[in-house]
Amino acid sequence: MNNGARSTCLIAALVAVGVALAERPGWRQDAYARGGPSRDSAGVFDYYVLSLSWSPSYCASLGAARGDPQCARRFAFVLHGLWPQFERGWPQDCASPDHGFVPRPVAERMRDIMPSATLIFHAYRKHGTCSGLGVDGYFDLARQLFAKVRIPPRFQELVAERTTIAPGELIGEFVASNPGLAPAMIAVTCGGAGNRLREVRICFAKDGAFRACGENENQWRLCAAQRMYVPPVRAPSPRQGDAQRHSDGALTLPGPRDDRD
């Protein structure tokens, strides 16, 4: 075979490989995760992550100092967000007919489980627009999945001052409390002083069933600590309570932000 023929065969082989990769499941996700040309399209993703934030950790580190109304109530786990995910990487800030706008009545009806309005607005603009469900459909699904997760009994209102737990132990308690949930379907995040518990992330298929998480929820990366400190649920101070009763600007106060900004 002469050099020209070899070159032609090589080019043909490379084209064939490129076509195969483009058609392979996950190729778009991999390209996006590397900052490749694939961009964010509403409804194009693989699964959801439901992120449950341990409110006492947020309030101990940032929220109380900010005067966040979330910290004026006895919250344990609250809804941090519902995030469309690729197997690797995630979409964000997708184009939508509503331009990421959350009507005030929608935000208000989520405040019982997602107590920071700033977080509500941010969650829909960055993540909810990529669900393809619209603002009502997105928050309705977020509430349904939040209600589906059974919080282990001792974390429904933890009051012990010196609670520590291994990430795997906490995962085991969630698995025991939720039939159908397996360790590969959940991850725990920690950080800050004493390796505080920050979040529990649970993965769902688009139909609402528990499913295995992708590479984003790598447990070693999210919390490599042997044990985590779990701050207790505390009664609000009088100053915080007064701020909640007298402030009419709650919808503009800062709340916990997505740590992947």
Q: What is the pLDDT of residues 175-226, one digit of tens each?
A: 999 999 999 999 999 998 889 999 999 999 999 999 999 999 999 999 999 9
DSSP string, 181-212: --GGGEEEEEETTTTEEEEEEEEE-TTS-B--
For residue 153, the tally of other CB atoms under 10 A from its CB is 10
Residue 130 per-residue DSSP state = G
Encoded amino acid at 85, one letter: Q
Structure confidence by residue, pLDDT tens digits, 160-171? 888 999 999 999
Domain boundaries of the chain, sorted by first residue: 3-32, 41-252
Q: Are 252 and 116 in contact (CB under 8 A)?
A: no
Q: What's the pTM?
A: 0.77
Residue bearing tokens 């001052």 = 161
Superfamily for domain range 41-252: Ribonuclease T2-like (3.90.730.10)
- 251 sits in the region (left: phi over 0; alpha: psi -120 to 50; else beta) called alpha
**Separation CA 96–CA 135 (nearest Å):** 10
Task: Tell me the two tokens of residue 48.
Answer: 């959801």
